[in-house]
């Protein structure tokens, strides 16, 4: 997509649709990067917009997206609503001349994702998605290693994503059979698979073959909607380029993990997104027992260096929870202003949605 110049009459004007918990993250990072003035919030529930305004101040409250865009002359809309509303809301905003940043999941399926992307192209507007973990410090380091050829050809990737059902969000899903997560085609997994698959989408070539299995390990509750939701997922992907990917989404494995291991023909690295580290795998370079003595020390030294880098980021105020989202939004607003390309390409968004569709189909076929 070519760069779209934005009128230079003052700062960009942004509005948020959906005033739930994640909207606070959007508001916080918008204020931090200073690239747009947050002037309006919209939600069908008036109490939500009222509380959001009280937390962030300086904005008008609305119950209708189109009225908010017209009344506030918005340039950018952030969608923080449940995903079954994304297609209609995103297309409305795009057709009214706004750029749109969408919370994940981007859409319910690939057909919906394609509708949003086509609408953005037709209206020459930018559309982005909150694949924030691709902009975490170790992920950016991985991109540099791949670009430099330091890993060689990537032959396999292993992904792990833990989901804490005892956490605040997990308990909300488990306690409410009407929660929007239960309306997703992939239910619990659908809500996090964007985060998992977005990491490997740039590496895979279409078409991607998919195999998946799921199960529920927790005891039955007696509620049909709750008990119909699996909590363990395993999948295997194979791209047309021969790259294979194995993945696990787990609600029971402890400690709760968020990792990716990338196996290359020259070197292998492991990323820990929770610890914000990327560590190269130690290799045996000495013979026999002596060779087995040194790798743990080498690996330990590499973890220490990663820890020291994190200390430096902490001292420079670059270690807060949504640092990755801040970087992503900065790049997205660069694209809006014609100073860069889309930080997440349309092809990557569509590839993620297509793989999720295939995982959902694979799970349905195994029931």
SS (H, E, C) 149-180: CCCCCEEEEEEEEECCCCCHHHHHHHHCCCCH
Residue 141 and residue 118 share a domain:
no
Residue 157 and residue 229 share a domain:
yes
Residue 204 and residue 69 share a domain:
no
Q: How far apart, in whole angstroms, are the C-alpha atoms of residue 15 and residue 74? A: 7
CATH number of residue 272's parent domain: 3.30.360.10
Specify if 38 maps to a domain: yes
Residue 105 and residue 46 share a domain:
yes
Q: Look at residue 6 in the predicted model and tell me its pLDDT.
A: 47
Residue 262 and residue 158 share a domain:
yes
Residue 28 belongs to domain spanning: 12-129
Q: How far apart, in whole angstroms, are the C-alpha atoms of residue 106 and residue 129? A: 6
CA neighbor of 68 nearest in space, from 87, 48, 44: 44
Residue 94 and residue 36 share a domain:
yes
Helix (H) or strand (E) holding 296: helix 295-315
> Any long-range contacts for 95-99 (C-beta under 8 Å, 24+ apart)?
95/119, 95/123, 96/66, 96/69, 96/70, 97/69, 97/123, 97/125, 98/69, 98/74, 98/125, 99/4, 99/75, 99/125, 99/126, 99/127, 99/128, 99/336
Residue 257 and residue 148 share a domain:
yes
Specify if 343 maps to a domain: no
Residue 198 and residue 143 share a domain:
yes
Q: Look at residue 289 in the predicted model and tell me its pLDDT.
A: 73
Q: How far apart, in whole angstroms, are the C-alpha atoms of residue 309 and residue 311? A: 5
Residue 263 and residue 145 share a domain:
yes
Contact 257, 160 (CB under 8 A): yes
Residue 357 and residue 228 share a domain:
yes
Residue 50 and residue 155 share a domain:
no
Specify if 184 maps to a domain: yes
Q: How far apart are the first and last CA of the chain?
A: 41
Specify if 60 maps to a domain: yes
Residue 317, CB half-sphere, CA atoms under 13 Å: how many? 2
Q: C-alpha dihedral over 180, 186, 190, 191, to 10 degrees?
A: 20
Contact 351, 19 (CB under 8 A): no
CATH number of residue 98's parent domain: 3.40.50.720
Specify if 307 maps to a domain: no
Number of structural domains (the chain) is 2
Assign 61 to helix, strand or coil.
Answer: strand
Final residue of a domain: which of 129, 163, 191?
129
Specify if 309 maps to a domain: no
Specify if 337 maps to a domain: no
Q: Look at residue 153 in the predicted model and tell me its pLDDT.
A: 97
Q: What is the pLDDT of residues 191-211, one digit of tens each?
A: 999 999 999 999 999 999 999
Q: What is the pLDDT of residues 314-331, one digit of tens each?
A: 898 888 889 999 999 999
Residue 170 and residue 112 share a domain:
no
Final residue of a domain: which of 103, 129, 155?
129
Contacts of 166 (CB under 8 A, 6+ apart): none
Specify if 235 maps to a domain: yes
Strands 36-42 and 258-264 turn out to be unpaired
Contact 73, 7 (CB under 8 A): no
Final residue of a domain: which of 112, 129, 146?
129
> Any long-range contacts for 302-305 (C-beta under 8 Å, 24+ apart)?
303/277, 303/279
Q: How far apart, in whole angstroms, are the C-alpha atoms of residue 212 and residue 357? A: 11
Q: How far apart, in whole angstroms, are the C-alpha atoms of residue 91 and residue 120? A: 8
pLDDT values of the chain reduced to their tens digit, one per residue, 367 residues: 544 544 445 789 999 999 999 999 999 999 999 999 999 999 999 999 999 999 998 899 999 999 999 999 999 999 999 999 999 999 999 999 999 999 999 999 999 999 999 999 999 999 999 999 999 999 999 999 999 999 999 999 999 999 999 888 888 888 888 888 988 999 999 999 999 999 999 999 999 999 999 999 999 999 888 998 999 999 999 999 999 999 999 999 999 999 999 999 999 999 999 999 999 987 767 677 777 777 788 888 888 999 998 899 989 888 888 999 999 999 999 999 999 999 999 999 999 999 999 999 999 987 7
- Tokens, residue 162: 């833990």
Q: How far apart, in whole angstroms, are the C-alpha atoms of residue 356 and residue 350? A: 10
Contact 262, 221 (CB under 8 A): no
Contacts of 259 (CB under 8 A, 6+ apart): 159, 160, 270, 271, 272, 273
Contact 105, 184 (CB under 8 A): yes
Q: How far apart, in whole angstroms, are the C-alpha atoms of residue 310 and residue 318? A: 9
């Amino acid at each position: 997509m070519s760069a779209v110049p934005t009128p230079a009459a003052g700062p960009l004007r942004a509005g948020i649709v959906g005033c739930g918990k994640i909207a606070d993250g959007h508001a916080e990072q918008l204020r931090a990067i200073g690239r747009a003035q947050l002037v309006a919030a919209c939600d069908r529930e008036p109490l939500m917009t009222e509380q959001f305004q009280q937390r962030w101040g300086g904005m008008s409250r609305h119950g209708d997206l189109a009225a908010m865009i017209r009344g506030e002359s918005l340039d950018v809309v952030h969608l923080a609503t449940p995903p079954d509303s994304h297609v209609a809301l995103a297309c409305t905003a795009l057709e009214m001349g706004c750029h749109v940043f969408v919370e994940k999941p981007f859409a319910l399926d690939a057909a919906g994702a394609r509708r949003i992307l086509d609408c953005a192209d037709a209206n020459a507007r930018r559309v982005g998605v909150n694949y924030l973990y691709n902009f975490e410090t170790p992920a950016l380091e991985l991109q540099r290693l791949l670009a430099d050829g330091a890993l060689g050809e990537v032959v396999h990737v292993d992904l792990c994503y833990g989901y804490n059902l005892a956490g605040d969000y997990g308990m909300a899903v488990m306690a409410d059979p009407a929660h929007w997560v239960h309306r997703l085609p992939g239910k619990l997994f659908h809500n996090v698979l964007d985060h998992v698959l977005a990491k490997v989408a740039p590496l895979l070539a279409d078409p991607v073959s998919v195999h998946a299995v799921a199960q529920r390990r927790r005891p039955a509750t007696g509620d049909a909607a709750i008990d119909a939701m699996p909590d363990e997922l395993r999948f295997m992907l194979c791209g047309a380029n021969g790259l294979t990917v194995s993945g696990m989404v787990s609600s029971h494995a402890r400690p709760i993990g968020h990792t990716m291991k990338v196996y290359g023909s020259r070197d292998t690295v492991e990323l820990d997104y929770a610890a914000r580290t990327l560590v190269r795998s130690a290799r045996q370079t000495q013979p026999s027992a002596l060779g087995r003595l040194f790798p743990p020390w080498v690996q330990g030294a590499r973890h220490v260096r990663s820890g020291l880098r994190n200390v430096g980021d902490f001292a420079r105020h670059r270690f807060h929870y949504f640092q990755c989202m801040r970087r992503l939004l900065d790049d997205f607003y660069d694209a809006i202003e014609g100073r860069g390309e889309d930080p997440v390409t349309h092809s990557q968004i569509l590839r993620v949605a297509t793989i999720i569709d295939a995982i959902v189909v694979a799970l349905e076929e195994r029931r």
